[in-house]
Amino acid sequence: MDPNLVFWKNEGQSFFSRFRIWFNILDPLSQLSTDVSIRSDFCCFQVSVHADSGAILPLLFRPPGRSLCPQVYASFLPFNSVKPALFYQFLLQSYNTGFNYANRNSSSEQKKRMSLNQLLLIAGTISYTTCAGALPQIIINRLHVKSVPVQTFCRSILPIPLAAVLAFFNVMTVRSQEPDNGIQVFDSNGNSVGFSKAAGEKAVRETAVSRAALMGTAAAVPNLLVLFLHRLRFVQRNVILAASVRPVSVTLILSLMIPVSFSLFPQLAAIKKEELEAELQAAAVDGHLLYHRGL
């Protein structure tokens, strides 16, 4: 079992312990760690090395990079036309897709190149989520919406469930190979006992829920806060204050919600014996097997 997974097995059994760990290791500066520091510093190792393959993660898709994601802020801005909305949604959804793919459970894909089907699935996911993410602006422009309440709904309320649903969908599609092929499962001593499709399905579903919580909250708090504060007279009179509410709130919410999202479910999670395939149940002598959830 990878040292990362051994660490999470020993230290990450409760939400609060996982949150404390992620809060401490999600240092944006570790995003720029060199190969030498990654191999010598365990905190850098945890956020820079893939737990299945042992390969160093691409620079942009290491976990600390999610806190340095201006696409999230830009994608929730109110635009006057469809093109900029599509552009920033494309940047956001491309990043989300790349992050989900880079941090997946790849235990059943060792030494395999990306297939054409995977490549087409990733391209289709980016295209679909980009168009769906820009839907509020498309509605306003194509239907020539002039009503202020309807515009407010499209720009401030509709993006909240939309962001959560698209984040969930992105994980489920990009990581669909895991339920199809199965992922590696371990006994309580860390020994590999085979591959489980049931564990793969559980890992992807848990990660999709955590990502929906992240993106839904990142959309909800700034949008609703701006909607509320812009109704106050002292905010309306202070242009600088009004303009700073959204970027400041997005930064604060992401800083808090990223470790919360990563901590909702264990990195090394357990699947009950009765949920496993019949051929694997005999190996679950403690009533469960362990699997790497991915991120």
Examine residue 28 and state whether it is found in any structural domain, yes or no: no
Residue 132: per-residue pLDDT: 93
194-218 mean pLDDT:
93
Examine residue 220 and state whether it is found in any structural domain, yes or no: yes
Examine residue 15 and state whether it is found in any structural domain, yes or no: no
Decide: 185 and 280 in contact? Cβ < 8 Å: yes
Examine residue 39 and state whether it is found in any structural domain, yes or no: no
Examine residue 157 and state whether it is found in any structural domain, yes or no: yes
Residue 123: per-residue pLDDT: 92
Range of weakest confidence among 43-57, 93-107, 134-148, 199-213: 43-57
Determine the structural domain holding residue 224 and report its residue range: 62-292
Q: Which residues pair with 184 in a beta bridge?
A: 195
Examine residue 55 and state whether it is found in any structural domain, yes or no: no
> Residue written as tokens 């919580």?
213
Kindly report the backbone phi and psi dihedral angles of residue 291, in degrees, each rounded to the nearest multiple of 5, phi listed first. -145, 155
> Residue written as tokens 């992807």?
204
In angstroms, the CA 259 to CA 249 distance is 16
Q: Which of 238, 226, 223, 79 is nearest to 159 (CA)?
A: 223
Q: What type of residue sits at position 279? A: E
Two tokens at 264? 């909702």
Position 237 confidence tier, pLDDT thresholds 50, 70, 90: confident
Kindly report the average pLDDT of the chain as a whole number: 84
How many beta carbons lie within 10 A of that of residue 132, not counting itself? 16
pLDDT of 217 higher than 80: yes
Examine residue 31 and state whether it is found in any structural domain, yes or no: no
For the chain, what is the domain count? 1
Examine residue 280 and state whether it is found in any structural domain, yes or no: yes
